Amino acid sequence: MSVVLVVNSGSSSFKYRLIDMFAERVLAHGLVERIGEKVGVATHTVVAHAEAGEPAPTVADVTQQLTRAIPDHTTGFAVMLEAFAAHGPSFDEHRPDAVGHRVVHGGARFFRATIVDDAVEESIDDLSLLAPLHNPGALEGIRAARAAFADVDHVAVFDTAFHQTMPPEAYTYALDREVARRHRIRRYGFHGTSHKYVSEQAAAHLGRPLETVRQIVFHLGNGASVTAIDGGRSVETSMGFTPLEGLVMGTRTGDVDPAILLHLQRTAGYDTDDLDDLLNRRSGLVGLAGANDMRDLVARAEADDQAAQLAIDVYVHRIRAYAGAYLAQLGGADVISFTAGVGENAALIRERALDRLGFLGVRIDHDRNRSVPRGEIAQISSDDSDIVVLVVPTDEEVEIARQTLHAATFRRAE
């Protein structure tokens, strides 16, 4: 068994990647979007690879684009299959042995990647109540893919699963217990696939068994979260009941005093949709400085733009607070890693995030931090730093593929 198709479905689009798991080599990837609109768009890229013994690919990646009506995910899958048939790679040679699906919410039920059957589909559907923006799209993708690839295992890989190891004191809100129980309110945590992947990469980079390493992972993308990981187990994470809690994000507030919502309802006539829009789409970096791309904000801040400077100050202030809190929860750490768009690319954010941890022996090497090679693991702490600080590129698709392969292989062995 060696080829896995990874599918990441949203409500009106899905991304896919075909991976040869023998060398974790991407064979093709694509995006089917604007599902349900008048004209859908499908983009399919066949990845070029060097022949054995050759230093570099002899042909370039080939990207094809097609536009036509794609009314639903089932049609989207048919379009994807046509793209494979027309442009390769051929399924005769590289037929997927399993299909892995990203599912945002697995609730308290799913603590690992799980083979999808009708009962699992039903649970994902039931969990749409907790993730109304995410689970329905994933479910559509799963149904369409199960119809298109009826004879292989489909595996659901949940963003929440990695955090199911959190102890009760970390996942419990100090809410009325009965209300919390009835409405399944607790901290679930998200970005688990990325936190798991990055923490494994970091331990491997240190050359130490995962079980012996205490670490903190900052996933700073458009969405942002931080996780404390003890011996490979998530013990605390900043996203909570939804992906809104915690760090300042591109368009989301992260932590706010919930009484602000009551205040806006009482005195300014905000209803549920207004609050949802404010908290999830009009806040964070966009709310503070009108833009969510950290590249722009850093450039503007350097040119003395005060809104951009404040946005970065608030962003970093929150990261520092979490770094301190999680170091305290773990009782110290061996390694702190930065990942995702901002974490992998914004040297300024990384150095400012840790600039007050000198008292714990955290020493950033500024030259290393400013010259991190793109796409590679890099140490940015100096050699005499007591805590190693790394930049670790995340790869959620590869992690989904690994877990898919593992679950499918395990099932076959049963």
| Known binding residues | 8, 15, 102, 219-223, 293-295, 341-345, 396
Orientation of helix 396-413 relative to helix 192-206, angle to 10°: 90
Q: Which is nearer to ligand ADP, 225 or 385 (CB)?
A: 225
CB of 370 to ligand ADP, least distance (A): 12
CB of 399 to ligand ADP, least distance (A): 14
Note whether 47 and 64 are within 8 A (CB).
Answer: no
Identify the three-state secondary structure at position 112.
coil
Note whether 245 and 373 are within 8 A (CB).
Answer: no
Kind of pairing, strands 335-339 and 214-220? parallel
Task: Report the residue closest to ligand ADP, judged by CB.
Answer: 341
Cβ neighbors of 148 (< 8 A, separation 6 or more) are: 74, 77, 78, 81
Count other C-beta atoms under 10 Å from residue 181's C-beta. Answer: 11
Strands laid side by side in the 335-339 sheet: 233-237, 224-230, 214-220, 335-339, 388-391, 378-379
CB of 61 to ligand ADP, least distance (A): 19
Q: Is 239 in the site for ligand ADP (CB under 6 A)?
A: no
Q: Which of 192, 250, 284, 287 binds ligand ADP (CB under 6 A)?
A: 250
Rounded-to-integer distance, Cα 41 and Cα 39, Å: 7
Q: Which is nearer to ligand ADP, 249 or 408 (CB)?
A: 249
Q: Is 226 in the site for ligand ADP (CB under 6 A)?
A: no
Which value, to the nearest 10 degrees, does the dihedral of the CA atoms of residues 191, 330, 325, 337 take?
-50
CA dihedral over 75, 77, 82, 83, signed as positive or negative: positive
What number of chain residues touch ligand ADP (CB under 6 A)? 13
Q: Which of 160, 292, 337, 403 binds ligand ADP (CB under 6 A)?
A: 292
Q: Is 240 in the site for ligand ADP (CB under 6 A)?
A: no
Note whether 237 and 219 are within 8 A (CB).
Answer: no
CB of 16 to ligand ADP, least distance (A): 16
Q: Give the chain's length.
A: 414
Note whether 281 and 251 are within 8 A (CB).
Answer: yes
What per-residue string of b and e applies to 95-118 under the rule 16 or more CB within 10 Å gives b?
A: ebbbbbbbbbbbbebbebbbebee
Q: Is 251 in the site for ligand ADP (CB under 6 A)?
A: no
The angle subtended at Cα 230 by Cα 228 and Cα 235, nearest 5°, is 50
Q: Which of 4, 35, 203, 342 binds ligand ADP (CB under 6 A)?
A: 342
Q: Which of 80, 104, 202, 294 binds ligand ADP (CB under 6 A)?
A: 294
Q: Which of 181, 183, 295, 317 binds ligand ADP (CB under 6 A)?
A: 295
CB of 123 to ligand ADP, least distance (A): 26
Cβ neighbors of 254 (< 8 A, separation 6 or more) are: 224, 238, 244, 245, 246, 247, 248, 284, 318
Q: How far apart are the first and last CA of the chain?
A: 16
Of the residues 97, 153, 159, 395, only one is catalytic, namely 159
Q: Is 244 in the site for ligand ADP (CB under 6 A)?
A: no
Active site residue 153: no
Q: Is 311 in the site for ligand ADP (CB under 6 A)?
A: no
Q: Which is nearer to ligand ADP, 252 or 363 (CB)?
A: 252
Q: Is 378 in the site for ligand ADP (CB under 6 A)?
A: no
Encoding tokens for residue 66? 């097609």
Q: Is 223 in the site for ligand ADP (CB under 6 A)?
A: yes
Q: Which of 12, 222, 251, 329 binds ligand ADP (CB under 6 A)?
A: 222
- Residues comprising the binding site for ATP? 15, 219-223, 293-295, 341-345
Distance of CA 142 to the CA centre of its chain: 19
Q: Which of 20, 293, 334, 351 binds ligand ADP (CB under 6 A)?
A: 293
Q: Which is nearer to ligand ADP, 83 or 216 (CB)?
A: 216
* Touching ligand ADP, residues 139-198 (CB under 6 A): none
Q: Is 340 in the site for ligand ADP (CB under 6 A)?
A: yes
Encoding tokens for residue 22? 């023998």
Q: Is 341 in the site for ligand ADP (CB under 6 A)?
A: yes
Q: Which is nearer to ligand ADP, 261 or 314 (CB)?
A: 314
Hey, which residues are catalytic here? Answer: 159
Residue ranges binding ligand ADP (CB under 6 A): 221-223, 250, 292-295, 340-342, 345-346
